Amino acid sequence: MKWKQFFTPVSNITGEEAKQLVADKGADNVVYLDVRQPKEYENAHLPGSRLIPMGELDRRLDELDPDSHIIVY
């Protein structure tokens, strides 16, 4: 488990701030990370979002670019 990465400071942002981040950085430079369960993702998700369920996140962190802007929901 890459537990040290869970202690990295993160920012909480509002929906409006997320929209502004996408507008400023461009949609191709922002990753939407859906951490819900697969059934929830199948029912509804943001277009282009990536699914990594919360229970798998510690094992799959290497799939994410640490230099990218990641919006987790």
Cα–Cα distance, 16 to 60 (Å, whole number): 28
Which residue segments constitute the domains of the chain, with CATH numbers given?
Answer: 13-72 (3.40.250.10)
Q: What is the pLDDT of residue 5?
A: 62
What's the pLDDT score for residue 51? 97
5 vs 15, more confident: 15
Long-range contacts of 57-63 (CB under 8 A, 24+ apart): 58/1, 58/2, 58/3, 58/6, 59/1, 61/2, 61/5
- What digits encode the pLDDT tens for the residues 11-64? 788 989 999 999 999 988 999 999 999 999 999 999 999 999 999 998 998 999
User: Average pLDDT in the 58-71 region?
Assistant: 89
At 10 the pLDDT is 73
- The reported pLDDT for the residue numbered 58 is 86
